Structure 1
Amino acid sequence: MSLWTSTDAAAATGGRSTADWAAEGISIDTRTLRPGDLFVALKDARDGHDFVAQALEKGAAAALVSRIPEGVAPDAPLLVVPDVVGALEALGRAGRARTRARVLAITGSMGKTSTKDMAAAALAGQGRVHAAEASLNNHWGVPLTLARMPAETDWAILEIGMNHPGEIEPLARMARPHVAMITTVAAVHLEAFADVAAIAREKAAILAGLEPMGAAILPEDLPVTPLLRDAADAVGAVVVGFGAHGMAKPLSAEPADGATRVKARILGQTIQTTLASAGEHFVMNAVGVLAALEKLGADLPAAAAALADWRPYKGRGAVEQMGGVTLLDDSYNANPVSLAAGLATLAKLPAGRRVVILGDMLELGPDEIAIHRGIADWPALDDIAVVHACGPRMRHMFDALPPARRGLWSETAAELCDRAAELVQDGDVVFVKGSKFSRVASVVDAIRKSRQTPGVETRTA
């Protein structure tokens, strides 16, 4: 069965099809387009209309456009609409409306993608699962995920993110989840929000999209937990708290060769599972996921067993052996809370010498310099032998370190890459962390190359 036919898509969007077509998937990028996809000509850094001809040459079933692009025949298979983003949103709403899937939506200041992937892995074997790819969680990522959802889906796992106020609620109302989970609330995106309470209110907006009698899976023990609970009460949600004092809580977490054996109490049931990561924050999010899946209607023991097959994306907390060193690669993104969690994980790994490589953290608002400088005073750094850093913000942290702990600092990650062989030595346990745009992830690849080992088999976002 096709994902979308020209008739169905035209009805959903109010657009005009120039020919009959049937699409098996949806693509927004000609580099990853597969034959039979509907190509959506979004305008971002480049105008997708400039790539329609290429998409059709590569076998696209049709293209969703707001005009007939130059060089494309008028009788080419097109769905012409007034606005491409609006049409994609309409396809998303139609995709959600035609399925009887049980829907889980996840937001939070950290851990959205890994938590979404945990849920998808845990549901394996319990029906047809549709989950957002990579980190598709923004104003076009959510409708794209919904539009890609087959009508016969049993379980749908969505990720909803934000950078500014007012982004989450419309996406949540589009998704209409039966269960919504907030992983945590932390001081990120402070360039756009006055304080953490404002961030919490934005995260809580996911609850506005809940279906009647839906469930809210909320972190316990946060200063803003009462605010989240008030928002859940306002929409009549069933509330399940997860955390040390929640209805879903870890009972024990034992490290085991880069993995963690977990025992937890989930809504009255005691379960055991194994996580392919050593981080405590992964343990807590796994507990929340299992609570969410129980409220979604899944088989909890089966979900706990299947969760052992989850693997973190590259750069999101995987522990690997790499040419004589142990690497904790958490380089995909960073904020002070996730940095602290990563350092706590590092402290639990057996090591001859602990080495930290840090890149700048972004979107921390007017206090960003003080926040970076303050890292040097964290007790978590007391057991770190060497700290390397890159970026102008991390320079403030680096200069405040005791001289004995200072390794190398550079203005850019590329300069650290050039000196990769100097950063680590045999027997080290190395932790790498920084915001995505610091490009500190490139240092991981440079170290790997310098130690002449192939990449590990972890997924990339």
Structure 2
Amino acid sequence: MIKKTISEIAGLMQAPVYGTYKEDTTVEGVVIDSRQVRPGSLYVPILGQKVDGHSFIEQVAQNGAALAFWQKDHTPYPDQLPLILVEDTQQALAALAKAYLDTLHPLVIGVTGSNGKTSCKDMLYSVFSQEKKTQKTQGNRNNEIGLPLTVLDFDEDIEVAVLEMGMENKGEIAELCQIAAPDIAIITTIGSAHMENLGGKKQIAEAKCEIYDGLRPGGLFLYNKDCPEIDEVLREKSLDRSKTIRSFGKTGDGKIVSGIAYKAGGIEFSTSLLDGKIALRALGDHQAMNALPCIMAAKACEIQDESIQKGLAELEMTKMRTALTQLGAARVLDDSYKSNPESARAAIDTLMAIDGKKHVAVLGDMLDLGRQENELHGQIGAYAREKGVDLLYAFGPLSKHTAQAFGSGGTWFETKEEIVDHLSSMLEDDVVILIKGSRAMSMDSIVTQLSGGFKNV
């Protein structure tokens, strides 16, 4: 993480320090939560909708913070610790992250997409770590606050930075690229997420393609050829000839050239990019697709084929992404972190690819889908029926449409506890259970309750 003297921080910010301090005082780490302050921290108070971080300055000083940013319009200025006065603390956080990253000079890989960006990020990290000091976005810190905090956690000897870039509206990817302009930019997919804000897939593609605009001159842009909206947006752009554009997918420059075989804890497949079979420690045909830009990026950076193979085979995925857990005789496929129509279909496909006597899909609401939300939920229920799912349990008001479209064997539940009660009776059978829903639905609590209940049996 960042470790600089107060004077060095002031130099990066091109701003004076307000208050008294010792020249050799070291700042180590940046926090926005007053409860996380440790001796030596730089505290950046953020103005939230309900809470103003400036209110906690006394607690921050008592906990040993070495320095704080302070918004100029918050007077009088406190005297408990030295301050750097700024117009906007959130913008100052971004400015510090950019200035710090500029001193590190790592290869920056930016990943965005409606689905698959976290999995792709994890794959890139696992592969590049085989040969280079690599760090990545932790958790879901992929927005205008999370990304700067991620950058400020980077060590000074970092060689490769893998940054997940999320968005809800146009302009947000562009802002993230101003902080951390990628040398390699990846768009995994264009899906239905954020249609409520943006209107349609073309508009979503326009927002995601801001990562191409933010790509450094001479950089590499990798995108999913199976998403025609990206091609449409690129055709309308004035392209920078210094940037290399390559695609992956069923018809892209990088493609899967064999059937995908399901093995214990993962899949196996062949691509046009590497000789031999690739063993990927992740479940789902869609994960093979997420591996393609990872392989292409690694090859472009001259990572050895053996390192690519090893990184994918030893992949450690972020929690709640197609994680298969054995509970008694049953297996639970936890894909509960998020959901939208495309990722729900992919999860159902993965469920049905896992051998079992019975397959159960537990689906929560998919949010932010706009005016078509009822129809889209119904389509997922029909898709589950078409693919051969035996039982479908639904939770959330929108998921009533999912259960109804599934038909016989589809049940809507008012509470997650009711679902847990029904599932608990299945754990001694050869059943595969999928748990899926938008983050706000907290479907992972079903997994937690099932796991805890089984341990107590």
TM-score normalized with structure 1 length? 0.90
Instruction: State whether residues 319 and 328 of structure 1, in contact with CA within 8 Å, keep that contact through their aligned partners in structure 2.
Output: yes
1:36 is aligned with what amino acid?
A: G
Following TM superposition, by how much is the alpha carbon of 1:353 offset from its aligned partner in structure 2, in angstroms? Answer: 0.9
Task: Go from structure 1 to structure 2 and tell me whether the alpha carbon gap of 1:16 and 1:329 turns closer, same or farther (over 3 Å shift).
Answer: same
Task: Go from structure 1 to structure 2 and tell me whether the alpha carbon gap of 1:63 and 1:351 turns closer, same or farther (over 3 Å shift).
Answer: same
Q: Are residue 335 (structure 1) and residue 340 (structure 2) matched?
A: yes
Q: Which residue of 1 is the match for residue 176 of structure 2?
A: 171
Following TM superposition, by how much is the alpha carbon of 1:79 offset from its aligned partner in structure 2, in angstroms? Answer: 3.2
Following TM superposition, by how much is the alpha carbon of 1:5 offset from its aligned partner in structure 2, in angstroms? Answer: 2.2
Q: Which residue of 2 is the match for residue 245 of structure 1?
A: 251
Task: Go from structure 1 to structure 2 and tell me whether the alpha carbon gap of 1:225 and 1:76 turns closer, same or farther (over 3 Å shift).
Answer: closer
- Sequence identity percentage: 30
Following TM superposition, by how much is the alpha carbon of 1:229 offset from its aligned partner in structure 2, in angstroms? Answer: 4.1
Q: Deviations over 1:231-277 (max 9, x none)?
A: 777123211211122222223332111211233222xx426442222
Q: Are residue 259 (structure 1) and residue 253 (structure 2) matched?
A: no
Query: Tell me, which stretches of 5 or more residues in structure 1 are unaligned?
Result: 455-461
Q: How many residues align?
A: 450
Q: Residue 246 of structure 2 aligns to a residue in which SS? A: strand
Q: Decide which moves more: 66-75 or 80-89.
A: 66-75
1-structure distance, mates of 2:435, 2:26:
45
Q: Decide which moves more: 219-228 or 333-342.
A: 219-228
Q: Deviations over 1:190-217 (max 9, x none)?
A: 1111211111111111011111111101
Matches within 5 A, 1:51-450: 51-66=56-71, 74-230=79-235, 234-236=239-241, 237-252=243-258, 253-266=260-273, 269-270=274-275, 272-378=277-383, 381-403=386-408, 405-407=409-411, 409-413=412-416, 416-417=419-420, 421-422=424-425, 425-450=428-453
Match of 1:37 among 15, 26, 41: 41
TM-score normalized with structure 2 length? 0.90
Q: Considering only aligned residues, what root-mean-square deviation do their CA atoms show, in Å?
A: 2.6
Instruction: State whether residues 40 and 63 of structure 1, in contact with CA within 8 Å, keep that contact through their aligned partners in structure 2.
Output: yes
1-structure distance, mates of 2:217, 2:268:
36
Following TM superposition, by how much is the alpha carbon of 1:392 offset from its aligned partner in structure 2, in angstroms? Answer: 0.5
Q: Decide which moves more: 276-285 or 4-13.
A: 4-13
Following TM superposition, by how much is the alpha carbon of 1:444 offset from its aligned partner in structure 2, in angstroms? Answer: 1.1
1:3 is aligned with what amino acid?
A: K
Q: Residue 30 of structure 2 aligns to a residue in which SS? A: strand
Instruction: State whether residues 29 and 41 of structure 2, in contact with CA within 8 Å, keep that contact through their aligned partners in structure 1.
Output: yes
Q: Decide which moves more: 257-266 or 211-220.
A: 257-266
Q: Deviations over 1:290-345 (max 9, x none)?
A: 11222244334313312322222221111121233111100010000000001111
Query: Tell me, which stretches of 5 or more residues in structure 2 are unaligned?
Result: none
1-structure distance, mates of 2:55, 2:322:
38
1:102 is aligned with what amino acid?
A: L
Following TM superposition, by how much is the alpha carbon of 1:366 offset from its aligned partner in structure 2, in angstroms? Answer: 0.6
2-structure distance, mates of 1:69, 1:361:
40
Following TM superposition, by how much is the alpha carbon of 1:34 offset from its aligned partner in structure 2, in angstroms? Answer: 4.7
Q: Decide which moves more: 220-229 or 121-130.
A: 220-229
Q: Deviations over 1:111-135 (max 9, x none)?
A: 1122112111111132221211112
